[in-house]
Copies of this chain bind each other. A is one copy, B any other.
Amino acid sequence: MFVLCMENTDNNFESSSDTRNRLLYAAEKLFCQRGFEGTSVRDITAEAGCNIAAVNYYFGSKEKLYEELFHMRLSEKIQGHMKTIEQVCARPDATLEDLLRELVRPTMESALRGDTWSRVVRFLVREALHHRFGRDKIAEELIDKFFERLAAAFRQLLPGLEKRAAWRAVLTFESLVMHPILFFEMYDLVLPGFTVKEITEQIVRVGAAGLRSCLKGTAE
């Protein structure tokens, strides 16, 4: 069910049925653009080029389709990030900048293409705005696991980083990564002609400096 590596791919669902795959793909596109309530089953089936009844046939309801999509994409995103962390942290000469860059780059490239990874982020933010975190046990555990691994990686690459400071660092870093995806239009307005490299290096530079400043303790 879960696809480990999804860079440079897009419509990579593994369902048994073609129609089912097209429904998942169409639903993801529309949910991320217009939200759950803003998307009708009719919109989804039209985009997928199949009949209105198909959503209920394959998923039972519009809501179950959404949930399956959300858990699937969240798992993919987190498993991809986990793999990246393992790979970078296994290198004896790895720096904090290396880790940040490897985590940020695929996300930024995806944001420019508007494909899967950026959709997953939009999914997550929509969920957060709807206050669904903390109620969904599957999502909560996945995010918790990932944050714990990332905090450990930060402490490995930044010796002396306290435990609570590492957790703050995780949240801070995530905010830097998400922002360009959410405010893509604004970036284009303010930084006309910006490139993936410019944004990626900005996040790596600011993230590394910011994270290093967390070593100094909480005193202002």
Q: Which of A9-17, A18-26, A183-191 contacts B (4 or more CB under 8 A)?
A: A183-191
Given A129-B122, A187-B171: A213 in contact with B205 (beta carbons within 8 A): yes
Q: Which of A33-41, A50-58, A65-73, A77-85 contacts B (4 or more CB under 8 A)?
A: A33-41
Instruction: Please give me the residue from chain B that is nearest to A179 by CB atom.
Output: B175
* Bound CA–CA A181/B26 (angstroms): 30
Interface string of A115-138 (1 = CB under 8 A from B): 000000010011011110110000
Interface string of A174-213 (1 = CB under 8 A from B): 1110111011011111110000001101111111111111
* This protein's copies in its complex: 2
Contacts of A42 in B (CB 8 A): none
Instruction: Please give me the residue from chain B that is nearest to A204 by CB atom.
Output: B220
Which of A34, A175, A207 has the most CB atoms of chain B within a 10 A radius of its CB?
A175
* Bound CA–CA A140/B186 (angstroms): 9
* Residue A172, interface by CB 8 Å: yes
Given A35-B38, A191-B171: A129 in contact with B131 (beta carbons within 8 A): no
Contacts of A187 in B (CB 8 A): 171
* Bound CA–CA A38/B130 (angstroms): 10
How many residues does chain A have at the interface if contact means C-beta atoms less than 8 Å apart? 60
Please determine whether A185 and B220 come into contact, CB atoms closer than 8 angstroms: no
* Bound CA–CA A33/B131 (angstroms): 8
* Residue A170, interface by CB 8 Å: yes
| Contacting residue for A205 out of B131, B178, B216, CB 8 A | B216
Q: Which A residues between 133 and 168 are near B, CB-CB below 8 angstroms?
A: 133-134, 140, 143-144, 147, 164, 167-168
Please determine whether A210 and B206 come into contact, CB atoms closer than 8 angstroms: yes
Known: A133-B185, A133-B189, A167-B191. 12 other contacts (CB 8 A): A36-B38, A37-B37, A129-B182, A144-B189, A168-B191, A174-B179, A175-B180, A175-B183, A201-B218, A205-B213, A205-B216, A206-B211
> Can you sample 15 A-B contacts with CB below 8 Å?
A33-B131, A35-B35, A35-B38, A125-B125, A125-B129, A126-B129, A128-B185, A134-B188, A164-B191, A171-B179, A201-B218, A201-B220, A202-B218, A209-B209, A209-B210
